[in-house]
Amino acid sequence: MSELTQEWGTVLANTYGTPPLALVEGKGATVQDEEGKSYIDLLAGIAVNSLGYGHPALVEAVSAQVARLGHVSNLFASEPVIKAGEKVLAHVADPQARVFFCNSGTEANEAAFKLARLTGRRRILAAHHGFHGRTMGALAMTGQPSKRRAFEPMPAGVEFYTYGDIDYLRTLVEQNPTDTAAIILEPIQGETGVIPAPAGFLAAVRALCDEHGILMIVDEVQTGVARTGDFFAFQSEDVLPDVITMAKGLGGGLPIGATIVRGLAEGLFTPGSHGTTFGGNPVSCVAATAVLDTIDDDFIAAVAAKGKSLAQAVEKLPSVDHVRGRGLMLGVVLNAPVAKQAVAEGLNQGLILNAPNESVLRLTPPLVISEEEIATATARLKTVLENIA
């Protein structure tokens, strides 16, 4: 155990346990620990470091802004928040759409929860096994009882449906359609093991929401900002949600979240109905603008291509049953429940991995990962799987 990991437990609350190692610097998709060992990062801070480590556009933008104006609160306007908002909304095909900036994905979903309340209806329908965050409203919509249990009672009104089962969802809605405020879903359930929604499910949910005047809320916290080979994962189907939540890759490593409102949700927020002191912080907003300026159509196409390359290579490895997901958000389904062992052995082989459950490895590398790094990472993963077999 390193000096830094030893000190961790004497300073930090015990919410994460003791980390296995301490990282000190990085470049691109590679990081180094305090002893100088390098690792190819296939996690990217849990799908956060979209431009990897030390990207010049991000470094330059943040350095210049923090020297100029760090924080002003939302009692005043500032250019960075307006620019970032314009860049975000450029990816939404509705000129009436508006964005609320916050600091994280759970806060973005907390805002969505409150929007549902502002409809005057009480029911929110969320998917079993979904994950939307750990603050109370977002946690209430998280379909994982083990995460909710210690903090019950949850805010009332949330009911759960089987992810991907439109017939079940329709039956649930029709029990009380006039009191159903919102349906929330992830296009790909990340924390459960990278499980994509079945083809056509998002379009069917959109039609069901339109039929009954229900908010369609799509959680793009992990899937957004080109992660899946589209800017938003819902763009793989011909739908446009009423509420879109995002965070993670948006700031390229700086804390920022966003809740986009349009359609039935436009106009629900009014002055004083919601807010956050740090939301729209100029430094985080210039980081987001740097990320969005970098992620153009060619960049997104490259993510899709690299995702296919990575998935095809990994699917050929020993002990791999299949690979699911899209773009650079992949779930490697193993033949045995050894994912956590693979994570530990990965560190020995210079590879950062993640196991959302016992039989799945989640791969969410920086979007700037190179084909050469993909080839090296695949070879290291092969060694990992052979060593734990």
Q: Do both 264 and 219 map to the same domain?
A: yes
Residue 277 marked in a binding site: yes
The β-bridge relationship of strands 329-334 and 360-363 is: antiparallel
Q: What is the pLDDT tens value at each position of the chain, 389 positions in all?
A: 688 888 998 999 999 999 999 999 999 999 999 999 999 999 999 999 999 999 999 999 999 999 999 999 999 999 999 999 999 999 999 999 999 999 999 999 999 999 999 999 999 999 999 999 999 999 999 999 999 999 999 999 999 999 999 999 999 999 999 999 999 999 999 999 999 999 999 999 999 999 999 999 999 999 999 999 999 999 999 899 999 999 999 999 999 999 999 999 999 999 999 999 999 999 999 999 999 999 999 999 999 999 999 999 999 999 999 999 999 999 999 999 999 999 999 999 999 999 999 999 999 999 999 999 999 999 999 999 999 98
Q: Do both 34 and 120 map to the same domain?
A: no
Query: Which residues form the domain of 221?
Result: 58-294
CATH number assigned to the domain comprising residue 309: 3.90.1150.10
Q: Do both 146 and 196 map to the same domain?
A: yes
Q: Do both 16 and 63 map to the same domain?
A: no
How many structural domains compose the chain? 3
Q: Do both 209 and 305 map to the same domain?
A: no
Residue 15 marked in a binding site: no
Residue 220 marked in a binding site: yes
Q: Do both 244 and 172 map to the same domain?
A: yes
Exposure string over 83-122, b if 16+ CB within 10 A, otherwise e: bbbebbbebbeeeebbbbbbbbbbbbbbbbbebbbbbebe
pLDDT for 9 equals: 87
Q: Do both 285 and 326 map to the same domain?
A: no
Would 50 be classed as within a structural domain?
Answer: no
Q: Do both 353 and 323 map to the same domain?
A: yes
User: What are the residue numbers of the active site?
Assistant: 131, 219, 248
Residue 131 marked in a binding site: yes
CATH number assigned to the domain comprising residue 177: 3.40.640.10
Q: Do both 322 and 273 map to the same domain?
A: no
| Domain stops at, among 278, 294, 310 | 294
Q: Do both 101 and 224 map to the same domain?
A: yes
- Count of other CB atoms within 10 angstroms of residue 174: 12
Q: Do both 277 and 338 map to the same domain?
A: no
pLDDT for 3 equals: 83
With residue 88 as reference, give the H or E element that holds it: helix 79-89
pLDDT for 370 equals: 97
Residue 134 marked in a binding site: yes
CA torsion angle for 14, 18, 24, 25 (degrees, to 10)? Answer: -90
Would 188 be classed as within a structural domain?
Answer: yes
| Domain stops at, among 294, 315, 343 | 294
Integer Cα distance of 151 and 106 in angstroms: 16
Q: Do both 185 and 220 map to the same domain?
A: yes
Would 231 be classed as within a structural domain?
Answer: yes
